[in-house]
């Protein structure tokens, strides 16, 4: 199994953590360090892209996490059915959505000042702050986000918060509850493993 990833991609980090939690062996292809591109398998050219041993190609990260959890059910990271499943998948959507919102802000910040769009950026930053306020409220007094045990919801939140810390640590100011919650989860090897040194996420 081959996983195309880049070291700073929160979506790829989420997939890596799921594979590590389940003990599924994979070859990682760092697209930042090789000439190999996911475009050979994924017309969107994005990471993560996963190529299964039978040649089946999976993307995006949500399809990958769902499929790996179904093919390798131990340990279960997404509840099998019902509202329990929906709640975990909703956290994944929120965590990925947080990164989706931040990426254009990061790109805008790299443009020459005269080409930036401060109004759009302010709107996106407000969404980041709204997500962090929501998570602060929700994580208070909890060890795990859903169901009293470690799930994909926890993995997804840690990975997206790591991305905020990497790109815009200023936006984390005042959100100690979420930072502390994620820092405790970082004790899991799947979340510390293969993280580049610029993704520390410590409270």
Ligand X SMILES: N[C@@H](CCC(=O)N[C@@H](CS)C(=O)NCC(=O)O)C(=O)O
- Dihedral sign (CA 13, 14, 17, 23): negative
When asked if residue 42 is in the footprint of ligand X (CB under 6 A), the reply is: no
Q: How far apart are CA 83 and CA 89, in angstroms?
A: 10
When asked if residue 61 is in the footprint of ligand X (CB under 6 A), the reply is: yes
- Using CB under 6 A as the binding criterion, the count of chain residues that bind ligand X stands at 11
| 96 versus 165: smaller Cβ distance to ligand X | 96
Minimum gap (Å) between residue 61 Cβ and ligand X: 3
List 27's β-bridge partners, or say none: 2
In the set 13, 16, 46, 175, which binds ligand X (CB under 6 A)? 46
Which of these ranges, 44-52, 132-140, 152-160, 182-190, lies near ligand X under the rule CB under 6 A?
A: 44-52
DSSP state letter for 74: S
Minimum gap (Å) between residue 177 Cβ and ligand X: 26
- What three-state secondary structure class fits 16? helix
* Residue 66: its H or E element: helix 61-71
Beta pairing, strands 57-58 & 2-5 = unpaired
- What three-state secondary structure class fits 27? strand
In the set 17, 20, 26, 48, which binds ligand X (CB under 6 A)? 48
Positions touching ligand X (CB under 6 A) are 6, 9, 11, 45-48, 60-62, 96
């Amino acid at each position: 199994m081959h996983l195309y990833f880049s070291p700073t991609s929160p979506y790829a980090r989420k997939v890596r953590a799921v594979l590590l939690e389940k003990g599924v062996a994979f070859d990682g292809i760092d697209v930042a360090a090789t000439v190999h591109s996911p475009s050979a398998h994924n017309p969107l050219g994005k990471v993560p892209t996963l190529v299964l041993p039978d040649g089946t190609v999976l993307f995006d990260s949500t399809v990958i996490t769902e499929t790996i959890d179904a093919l390798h059910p131990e340990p279960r990271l997404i509840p099998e059915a019902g509202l329990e499943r929906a709640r975990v998948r909703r956290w994944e959507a929120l965590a990925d959505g947080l990164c989706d919102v931040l990426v254009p802000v990061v790109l805008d910040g790299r443009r020459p000042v005269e080409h930036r769009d401060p109004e759009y950026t302010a709107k996106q930053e407000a969404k980041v702050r709204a997500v962090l306020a929501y998570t602060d409220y929700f994580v208070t007094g909890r060890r795990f986000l859903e169901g009293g045990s470690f799930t994909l919801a926890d993995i997804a939140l840690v990975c997206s918060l790591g991305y905020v810390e990497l790109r815009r640590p200023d936006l984390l100011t005042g959100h100690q509850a979420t930072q502390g919650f994620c820092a405790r989860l970082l004790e899991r090897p799947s979340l510390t493993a293969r993280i580049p040194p610029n993704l520390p996420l410590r409270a």
